[in-house]
Structure formats: C-alpha cells, structure tokens
Structure 1
Amino acid sequence: MTAPALPRWLFPMNKVLVALGRLGVVTGPVRVLTVPGRVSGQPRTTPVTPIVVDGRRYVIAALPDADWARNARAAGRGELARGRRREPVAIRDVDDPEVREAVLRAFPGQAPGGVPFFVRLGLVERADPEQFAALAARVAVFEISPA
C-alpha cells in the first residue's frame, strides 16, 4: 500500500505551530513534542494534540512510519510543551487494541482540528468516532506519561 500524499500545507503549518510554541503562544489543544532524532540525536519537534482517555494521555501518528513517530519510538522519551511550559515525558507504543480503539474513538471529539488531516489522507470520511476506531490497526498510538 502506497503512503497517502501529504497535504501541501502540512509542513508550513507545522513550522508555524512549532514557532508559536517557542514564542510561548498557546494554540488550542496543540502541544509541541520534542524527541531526540534516532540517528543524529538532535532535537526534533512536531505539533501533536494529546487525547485523554481514562485519565491517561495519548498522541496519534496518522502515518505510523512518519519520522516523528519513528524518533519517538526509538527514544522512548521527549518533552511536551504548551507555550513556555515544558514537561519531560516518557513515550511508549500502545499495543492493546481496545485501548487503541478507545483513543481513536475519542479523537474527533477532543481534537476536531485534526479531523481534516485524517480526511485529507483518505483514512476517514468524516468526524465519526466509529470510523476513527476502525483505524486502530493502521495508525500509531503512543501513551505519554510524566518522565
């Protein structure tokens, strides 16, 4: 299966969100996740929207082989920032299919701004929690916890 084409606006928008975060600007539910690069060890940043399910925080990588997801997987740690607040975090892949489905089911309600990205990739047709839950085996889900 060929990876879906990424929207042209994705990289510029990510740069804007990361820059705003560095300036201390809070942009809704978006946080900036920084993890060491798996090859260089240099800090790599990406905007993420944490989802809370049963009191635990999760982030989703729509493309499980995206560089940020591979870096997070390799490092197992990082820093989550909101504005000027920074929090060291542990990052782990979630393997439990029921947890993955619950997190994805919660995504459209907690991160409605991220729904168009999933639609653009052709992963879902609309902000339907059951369509998102059906993606559980196709996307990466990470649990984020205090380090």
Structure 2
Amino acid sequence: MSTTARVRVTGFQRFGNRMLEIFHGIGLPVGPMRLLKVRGRTSGREYTNPVAPVEVDGEVYILQAFPGSDWVRNVRAAGEGVLVRGRKARRVGLVEVPPHERGPIVRRFPIQVPMGAGIFVKNGVVPDRRPESFERAARDIPVFRVVPR
C-alpha cells in the first residue's frame, strides 16, 4: 500500500471507538487500549483516537494502523498529547521514531497486541500477522515514542 493512501475508518469501527471512549470515561479500560487525545493542527479542537501502545526495552511506543490518519499529522504538529487509561490521564510528549529505527519496535506489535495486528492486515499495511511482516513494513509505519512530561 502507498504510504500516502488514506484508509477510512468504517462506521462499525467508529462505533467501537466511541464505545472505548465510554468505557474509559466510566473507568473501565479495555485490554491494552488507551485513548490518545491530540489537538487538531488547524482547528485547535481536541480529537480522541484509540491506540494500543507497545513496550520495548522500557520505552512505550504508539503505531499508526490507518495510513493517512489525521492524528499522525496532528501529533507531528503538536509534539504532544494526552494518554488516557480508564479515568487516569497524563500529558505526554510524542517523538517520531526515524524510519531506520522502527523495525524492532513494530516487530513487537503482533506479539504484544495480537488482536490489533489484524487491523494492520485489513488496512493493507502488512500482508499477515507475522512479526517479520511487521518488521519488513516498518519504514512505512509511523511510530511515536511516548515521553513523560
């Protein structure tokens, strides 16, 4: 898939995302999911996106599963956001990992978040759920390191 192609979120996925927001809002986090809140680069409005962080060597990373997602452009502009788990929210810095350093990080995603790996396959980011496939596609998967503020 082209890195510039945009993959749209389906109505069913929007519904699931909204349910995740509701569950987190009442203090019931779901699996490894977090909510990432980022200010829009032009609107200034806060947008919320579900993410499944990956931990590698004590560092936490967030990967993009939907090519062309606005949240990535917003993070690049803002350099920060708020990560929410249940009712706990913390402001964090978000530093983009250079493409040549992404391989070992994205390789861990299907191991740590096997349910989430299917979204990458469905969206054409990787051909299958194998860690090797994620590693081969690493240069085209935006990755952000979460830095405490």
Q: Settle same-fold status: TM greater than 0.5.
A: yes
Structure 1 stretch displaced more, 15-24 or 107-116: 15-24
Residues 7, 69 of structure 2: 8 Å contact kept: no
The amino acid that maps onto 2:51 is V
- Decide which of 84, 103, 106 is 1:104's aligned counterpart: 106
Output the aligned Cα RMSD.
1.7
Secondary structure at the residue paired with 2:68?
coil
**Could you say which residue in structure 2 is the equivalent of 1:40?**
43
- How many equivalent residue pairs? 146
| Identical-residue share of aligned pairs (%) | 40
SS of the residue 1:79 aligns to: strand
Shift of 1:7: 5.6
**Gaps spanning 5+ residues in structure 2: where?**
none
Match of 1:28 among 8, 22, 31: 31
Tell me the SS of whatever aligns to 2:92: strand
Partner of residue 128, structure 1: 130
Pick aligned residue for 2:17 from 14, 19, 35: 14
SS in 2 for 1:137: helix
Contact 1:7 1:120 in 2 (8 A): no
Displacement of 1:65 in angstroms is 2.8
Q: 2:72 aligns with which of 51, 65, 69?
A: 69
Q: Tell me what 1:91 maps to.
A: 94
SS of match in other structure, 1:25: coil
Match for 1:26: what amino acid?
P
Show structure 1 runs of 4+ deviating over 4 A: none
State which of 40, 52, 55 in structure 1 corresponds to 2:55. Answer: 52
Cα pair 2:38 2:80 within 8 Å, conserved: yes
CA distance in 2, matches of 1:42, 1:7: 19
Residue 31 of structure 1: how far off its partner (Å): 0.3
Match of 2:139 in 1: 137
Q: Which amino acid aligns with 2:107?
A: R
TM-score by length of structure 2 reads 0.90
Deviates more, 1:120-129 or 1:73-82: 120-129
- What's the counterpart of residue 115 of structure 1? 117
> Counterpart amino acid of 1:56?
E
Task: Give unpaired runs (5+ residues) of structure 1.
Answer: none
- CA shift, 1:5, in A, is 4.5
